[in-house]
Amino acid sequence: MRLRGFKAHLPVKVCAVCGRPFQWRRKWTQNWPEVKYCSERCRNEARGRKA
């Protein structure tokens, strides 16, 4: 039996750049422990800060 619509049970992290919470996405199944940013925009901004 497959349950749909239960997004409240998904894991949540806080973005390292903007500080907003974001939920697990299917595309992050293999590397969820390494995910740090909520979006490409935040990831690119983090790269700009390092340089």
* pLDDT tens sequence across 2-50: 666 677 788 999 999 999 999 999 999 999 999 999 999 999 999 887 6
Closest CA to 25 of 10, 9, 36: 10
Q: Are 15 and 24 within 8 A, CB to CB?
A: no
Domain ranges of the chain: 10-25+32-50
23 strand-pairing partners: 12
What's the whole-number average pLDDT of the chain?
88
pTM value is: 0.73
